[in-house]
Amino acid sequence: MQTTLFKVAGMTCGSCVARVTNALRLVHGVGNVNVSLAGAAATVEFDHQLTTLEQLQAAVRHAGYGIDAVQTATQKPKGGCCCH
């Protein structure tokens, strides 16, 4: 899984947050989504083998908002020794 922080432009209320959240959740391969109105940001956990950053950005743009990737991190699979 990969986690990416996006800056989202154009959100003004809770309904905007819900629209962005729903748009991201509809993308195949998306896990957790956390959208912040105050931070004008969205944190998205997704399977990079099933979707791309471009697909996530397109979904948010299609919902009517601006979006830019800020930071991306890859999560290591859980289990096993932490020394590797």
83 is a domain residue: no
40 is a domain residue: yes
Nearest-angstrom CA–CA distance, 73 and 3: 5
5-46 residue pLDDT tens: 999 999 999 999 999 999 999 999 999 999 999 999 999 999
63-77 residue pLDDT tens: 999 998 787 776 555
CA dihedral 82, 48, 36, 10 (to 10 degrees): 160
13 is a domain residue: yes
Give how many domains the chain has, as a whole number. Answer: 1
25 is a domain residue: yes
Nearest-angstrom CA–CA distance, 25 and 50: 13
**What is the structure's pLDDT at 79?**
54
**What is the structure's pLDDT at 74?**
67
**What's 8's domain CATH number?**
3.30.70.100
59 is a domain residue: yes
